[in-house]
Every structure is written in structure tokens, then in C-alpha cells.
Amino acid sequence: MSDKDPSLRRNAPKLALHVPEPPFRPGDAPDFSSLKIPAAGSAPRPDIAAPAAETHPLTTQLVRVLGDDSKAVGAWDPKLDPETLRKMLRDMITVRIFDDRMYRAQRQGKTSFYMKCTGEEAIAIAAQTALDREDMHFPTYRQQGLLVARGYPLTEMMNQIYSNRGDKLRGRQLPIMYSDKKFGFFSISGNLGTQFPQAVGWAMGAAIKGDSRIAMGWIGDGATAEGDFHSALTFAAVYNVPVVLAVVNNQWAISSFSGIAGAERATFAQRAVGYGIAGLRVDGNDALAVYAATKWASERARSNQGPTLIEFFTYRAEGHSTSDDPSGYRPTNEAKSWPLGDPIERLKAHLIAIGEWDDERHAAANAEADATVRAAQKESEKLGILPEQGKNGVETMFDDVYAEVPWHIAEQREQALSEGRD
Amino acid sequence: MNMIQALNDAHKVVMRADEDVVVFGEDAGYFGGVFRVTEGLQKEFGKQRAFDAPISEGGIVATAVGMAAYGIKPLIEIQFADYIYPGYDQIVSEVAKMRYRTAGEWAMPMVIRTPYGGGIFGGQTHSQSPESLFTHIAGLKVVVPSTPYDAKGLLIAAVEDPDPVIFFEPKRIYNGPFDGHHDRPVKPWSKHPASEVPEGYYTVPLGKASIVREGDAVTVLAYGTMVHVALAAVEEQGLDAEVIDLRTLVPLDIKTIEKSVEKTGRCLIAQEAPRTSGFAAELSALVQERCFYHLEAPVERVTGWDTPYPHAYEWAYFPGPKRLKRALEKVMAD
């Protein structure tokens, strides 16, 4: 088996492979007390024109705004007006209710697949709130909040989930892989990480054309191991690209914890250091911190100061998807132990703390969002659910491969249609 | 004009006509590429439109995807076709499928140029012919020119095309037509009629093959460098062969192929790439399916061997006129 000569390496220690293990497995009592959580307001806020290196100490800390008393504190406090805060909260509530309804729809057999973003609602909602409407997102499958924050019709999202007659993607994509050019939401890929350098390319285009719009790329902690992540950072650094690059570190890539992507050795934000770009590590369950960091990075990009890599530190409270059972690899109550709390509860508590919200209004907001989601679902289901699809309009399956249908695909279309006639 | 100059000229034509065309690739900016196809572009069009890229084929293709989504038309260079594999996921999963998965909302009009093929003592990683890896992927168009005239006209057509095009450049014949014999120097293009490359704009349409030699005895299907090997072989054999330069593999000009095979009743297919699952296999199946009752002999394939490209033995690897001769004898014997 081995070609080593034992007489030559007699006294050398045996080598061993280190395979990282998460701190807790099923049956363990999760205890995050060893996790260092800096106090809200403790992180300094550099000028947007600061050299990238000045941000590098921030790649190991955690930008936090909401304190234990639910008040906003420190240099990163974005000082948002109550109406903006309330809109963010309502959008986050809508996303959670939407997720629950669509999860249930999948369980009812109305569609094939669904992915929730429970526990991560603040990230997409607050990040989009900090960006301009015309900026471009290259998202993953867990940024449905970007669409909600931009006022995208929920019925349209559901049409794409059900692949029904109203599905603008004509039944060609997995349910959560939305796409909409007008809403600045790039088509989602199932091959992870591909969108990250694409975001850089879009922003390079904006820079080449002297535009004022910027791009925001999104990736999960697990996919940072893909080559695309590293080419994105290289290109972003080399050409000083006006792009905001977000790593959503939700601790879990299906059943693999973030250590399998390298989190034991360095934070994901620290990846910025080696590329010489600005980096921030942010409490992803703190909507104000997410807003403030994204705003900072977007202003930096928009003023030609270059790219920023932001790690949003959060926790995936539910399974990876409807096909996943997280009780097989982590304690069932782990999400409840997550020390950064629930993003909706934290923003709610903040609004109450500043006298701009109360339990009654919160209940009303929940009821309103629930009614809106139900109405959208009813509307969408009029256009069909997945099991009813794929029978009519088979000929459309052959469209859009090329701008025009070439002879060989036309022949196959004819064959498919004749099979249907048999 | 040789093929390099013709391709360079094509770049200038499209970049002058459309300010959204942007060229980048490894060494493609200041230096003009290792084969000088992009020479002078940075000087004329500036660094915003012609620039060097990091050694990251995945990054080059991916950023081109982003630029195409923005509305820019990327015309990118992958330095050798052998280097295209790190960009393969982006090409196959993103570039090829974007129009389809977005129902036409996001098309990916771009051209990915790359020199391919052997015969230059390039070893395993500077000699491959990976075209069949791309012809197999729905959504891509695949072009392989064989002359300076076609190279310029096809490249301009490729840039204008609404779909993504993988443009394979036969580097063995960049400087002159190849007669297939390794002991003879490549002749310059200057005496070849296809080196008459008009100034300015013209196109050679995608999806249209060229009958480069008319004949009645046998149809020889070839593309890229093999067009010249095939011509040499049939000339040396004194055969009344019809040689068809496919020019575009996808979409394929099936009508020209069918018409010719129906006339000659015999078919030989020549490709540089390895045999198994190569594009010649697809051509062979198409000819068999569509022209079976006209065939007087089994379809023959001449290809590279199913080994990695060997440096020192490349002339034993490369399908030259001798190998074609034997195959022609076989296809004519029945």
C-alpha cells in the first residue's frame, strides 16, 4: 500500500487528518457561552473613504447596534426614522409568514421544494433598504427578502414557486430560484457561488459605462470554498470594482457546519484582508447593523472607493430546505440558544423601546401580513399548482434555448409533440 | 492577411461599430495576447475596453456573464482551449442556460475565443480539441474557422449573434495553411486565396458550411485544421472527393451534408479530437440516420487517439494525410 521506507522515518510522529466537528451534535445541550459577542456600539466606524486596511480589525469583531436594552447605540447607529424601521419590520414579518405558507404548500404537494430563511430575515430586508432601488442583486436562494423589500408582487413569487401559468420563467427553474430583471434580482443558480463573480462583472460593466448603480453579490458560508468566491474577490480587488460582497454565515451548509468551510481558522470577513479590500463582520440578526454596514459599503462603492466584503453572522434556524431534516446532525433546540436572538423580535423590541410600536400594532401587522400572503396565494393558485403543470404547452419547452429555434431542436419539438399525440 | 491579422481586424471592426464590445483575457490587453490576436486594441480603444485579466478563467467567464447581464458585449479570450476547464461551470451552467432559465429575459450574447488543437509541440495542456464538450451543451453555438477570410467573417457574425458563441481558433494554421506533413514548413497564407481578406465589415453566417472542393466520389467532412489535412489527402490520392468545411458545429448545416452524401454515397469524417464521443461520432450518427439508403459503404472516422496529447509523439497522434489516406481507401473499397 505505502511506498515509504520505514527505516528512514522511524521516529517521525504519525500524521493525522483534522476533520472539524461542530460544538454540538444531536442529544447535546447547546451552549454558546464561549462565543465572543462584543457589546453593541463597541465597533469603530471608519470613514467610507478610509483605506481598506483600516477596516481589517473589524473583520474579527462584530458590528452591532442594538444593545441588550434594545436601544440603538454607537457610531454605526444609522439613525433611521421610525417609518423606515416599521417598514423593515413589516417586510421581515411578511417574509416569515410567506415562508411558512409556502413551506406548508410544499407539504401539501402543491410544489416540489421550498427553502425558508427563518432567522435570517433581517439580512436581505435591511440590506435592500440600505441600497438604491436600481442597484443590482446577485442573490442566493435565501434572499427572498430582497424581493419583498422592493415591493415585488407576492403572487408573482408564488407563480414562480408553483411553475404555474403565471410563471414568467415558464416552469424551467426550481421553485425558489426567482428571477426578475426589472426588480434588479438576477437569476439564481443551483451551482453554488457562481453568482458572486457575476456580481463583480455587472459592477465592472457599470464602472466601464460610468453608471452610478452598483451591484451586491451574495453567497453562503459553505460556498465560500468554491473557486468562484476567490475569483470574485480577486477581480473585485484588481479593478477596484463598485460592488458589495456579502457572505451570509448562517453556520450550516445543509449538514456541514461552517468549520468545514474554514471558519475554525479565520472569520469569513477576514478573507477580505488577503485581497486588500475592506471587510466587515456584522451581527446579521441586528437589522440596524445590517443596514448600517450595507449603507457604508454601498457609499464606499458608489464613490469609487472600491469593494467591501461583509460577513453577516447569523444562524439558519430551520432546515436547509424541505428536503432536509436538521435533527439528524444538530440539537433540535440549537436555534433557540443562538445568542444573537431572533431578528424580528429584536427589531420589534427596539421599536417598542423607542415608543414607536406596541404588541397590539405588532399583532395587527402579523394579521395584515397573513391576510396579504393568503390573498396572494389564492390569486396564484387560480393559475395552477405544480402537479397540474407540464401537460399543456409542451412545445414551449423547446423555446429560449437559442434566440431562434435551430433545426435540430425543431425536429425534437416535433417528435415530442407527436409522442403526445400517440 | 494571415488568420491572426484577420481576427485582429475583426476585433477592430466590431469594436469600432459597437462601443459596448469589451475585450479582455490573460495578456490580452497591453501585450495583445500571446498570439497577438488582440494587439493594438488597448491603444485604439483604451483600457476600459481592452484589458488584461487575472489568471482565472472561471473569473473571466463569470465576470463576462455579469457584464452581459449589465448590457455589455464581452468578447473574451481564453489563452488556450486547454485552460477553459476552470471556466467550464460558468460556461455550461450559466452562459449556456441563462436565456432558457430566464425565459429570454437575460440572454448572454458573448463570444469566448480560444486557440485549440495540436501540431505546435504544445504538450498535453496546449494542444487539445475540446469542442465536443461544448457541442453537447444546449444553448451554446460552436464555431471553428479554417481560413483567414472565414475567421474574420465568422468572428464578426459571432459578435453580432444574440447567443453565446464558443469560437475555436486553429492555432496550427494561424500563420499559414497546413499541408499535414510535419516535415514540411507551414506555407504562408499570402499565396492562398482565402488570405484575401476585405477591409472593413463583412460576415460569414453561422450555421452555413462551405464546400471547399467539389467532387462525386466521397464526402469528406472536416473543420478547422483538418480541412487542410483533408484537402492534402484527397489531392495526393487523386480522388474526386467533395470536401466540406463545416465552419459551425452548432448550429450544423445538415442540409449541405445530406445533399453531398446523397450525391457521393460515401462519407469520411476527420477531426483532431480524440475518437470516443467526439463530434465525428455525432456527425457519423446523423449521416447514418439521414442518408443510410444512399450509403455505399460504412461511414469512416479519422480522429486523434483516445490518449492525452503526447508531447514527443504528437505527429503519431495528430491525424495526418497518411491516416486519412488509409481511411479513404477503406471507404472507397466497398
Averaged pLDDT in 10-residue chunks for chain B of 334 residues: 98 98 98 98 98 98 98 98 98 98 97 95 95 98 98 98 98 89 82 94 98 98 97 94 98 98 98 98 98 98 96 91 93 88
pLDDT reading at A271 higher than 80: yes
The A residues from 109 to 168 touching B (CB cutoff 8 Å) are 136, 138, 168
A366 touches chain B (CB under 8 A): no
Using a CB-CB cut-off of 8 Å, the residues of chain B touching A399 are 103-104
Distance from CA of B140 to the nearest CA of A (A): 8
Side-chain-side CA neighbours of residue B94 (13 Å): 33
Percent of chain A residues past pLDDT 90, beyond the cut: 95
Task: Output b/e per residue, A12-21; b: 16+ Cβ within 10 A.
Answer: eeeeeeeeee
Q: Answer yes or no: are the C-beta atoms of B232 and B173 closer than 8 Å.
A: no
Using a CB-CB cut-off of 8 Å, the residues of chain B touching A169 are 101-103
Look at the block and give the residue holding cell 437569476.
Answer: A187
pLDDT reading at A387 higher than 70: yes
- Closest residue on chain B to A214 (Cα): B70
B198 touches chain A (CB under 8 A): no
pLDDT reading at A1 higher than 60: no
Nearest CA to B144 out of B4, B5, B278, B250 is that of B250
Separation of alpha carbons A281 and A262, rounded Å = 16
Distance from CA of A399 to the nearest CA of B (A): 7
Look at the block and give the residue holding cell 425558508.
Answer: A116
Provide the pLDDT confidence category of residue A3 given band limits of 50, 70 and 90. confident
3-state SS class at B218: strand
Q: Do B63 and A201 touch (CB under 8 A)?
A: yes
Separation of alpha carbons A278 and A298, rounded Å = 12
Backbone angles phi, psi at A358, to 5 degrees: -155, 175
3-state SS class at A122: helix
A240 touches chain B (CB under 8 A): no
Using a CB-CB cut-off of 8 Å, the residues of chain A touching B251 are 402, 406-408
- Chain A interface, best mutation among B91, B101, B143, B161, by max A CB count within 10 A: B101
Four-residue CA torsion sign, A321, A325, A329, A330: positive
Separation of alpha carbons A157 and A176, rounded Å = 8
Backbone angles phi, psi at A270, to 5 degrees: -65, -15
Provide the pLDDT confidence category of residue A390 given band limits of 50, 70 and 90. confident
Separation of alpha carbons B305 and B317, rounded Å = 6
- Which tens digit of pLDDT belongs to each residue from A15-60? 999 999 999 999 999 999 999 999 999 999 999 999 999 999 999 9
Which positions of B are catalytic? 126
pLDDT reading at A5 higher than 90: no
Q: What confidence score (pLDDT) does residue B285 get? A: 98
Q: Going by C-beta distance under 8 Å and a sequence separation of 6 or more, which residues neighbour residue A265?
A: none
Nearest CA to A193 out of A216, A219, A221, A222 is that of A219
- Closest residue on chain B to A409 (Cα): B138
Distance from CA of A43 to the nearest CA of B (A): 33
Distance from CA of A330 to the nearest CA of B (A): 32
CA distances from B71 to A146, A402, B66 (A): 22, 18, 9
Strand partners, A180: A185
Q: Do A235 and B56 touch (CB under 8 A)?
A: yes
Q: What confidence score (pLDDT) does residue A422 get? A: 60
The three cell numbers locating residue A397 = 419547452
Look at the block and give the residue holding cell 501585450.
Answer: B31
Helix (H) or strand (E) holding B231: helix B225-237
Backbone angles phi, psi at A167, to 5 degrees: -70, 115
Sheet holding B300-304, edge to edge: B210-213, B241-245, B218-222, B267-274, B300-304
B138 touches chain A (CB under 8 A): yes
Q: Answer yes or no: are the C-beta atoms of B11 and B41 closer than 8 Å.
A: yes
Separation of alpha carbons A301 and B101, rounded Å = 30
Report the residue from B53, B56, B93 with minimal CB separation from A191. Answer: B93
Comma-separated ranges of CATH 3.40.50.970 domains in chain A = 29-389
A14 touches chain B (CB under 8 A): no
Residue A139 burial (CB count, 10 A): 28
Q: Do A198 and B65 touch (CB under 8 A)?
A: yes
The three cell numbers locating residue A2 = 505505502
- Chain A interface, best mutation among B24, B45, B56, by max A CB count within 10 A: B56
Separation of alpha carbons A350 and A354, rounded Å = 6
Q: CA A256, A258, A264: angle at the middle one, nearest 5? A: 125
Separation of alpha carbons B180 and B230, rounded Å = 8
- Chain B interface, best mutation among A208, A407, A415, by max B CB count within 10 A: A208
Q: Going by C-beta distance under 8 Å and a sequence separation of 6 or more, which residues neighbour residue B64?
A: A201, B74, B76, B95, B110, B112
Write out the CATH class of domain A29-389. alpha beta
Q: Do A205 and B141 touch (CB under 8 A)?
A: no
3-state SS class at A298: helix
Using a CB-CB cut-off of 8 Å, the residues of chain B touching A168 are 103, 105
pTM over 0.90: yes
Separation of alpha carbons B115 and B79, rounded Å = 7
**Amino acid at site B54:** P
Q: What confidence score (pLDDT) does residue A88 get? A: 98
ipTM of the complex: 0.97
Q: Do B63 and A189 touch (CB under 8 A)?
A: no
Q: What confidence score (pLDDT) does residue A419 get? A: 86
Q: Answer yes or no: are the C-beta atoms of B26 and B1 closer than 8 Å.
A: no
Report the residue from A187, A189, A407 with minimal CB separation from B254. Answer: A407
B141 touches chain A (CB under 8 A): yes
Q: Going by C-beta distance under 8 Å and a sequence separation of 6 or more, which residues neighbour residue A243?
A: A199, A200, A202, A203, A214, A215, A216, A217, A236, A301, A307
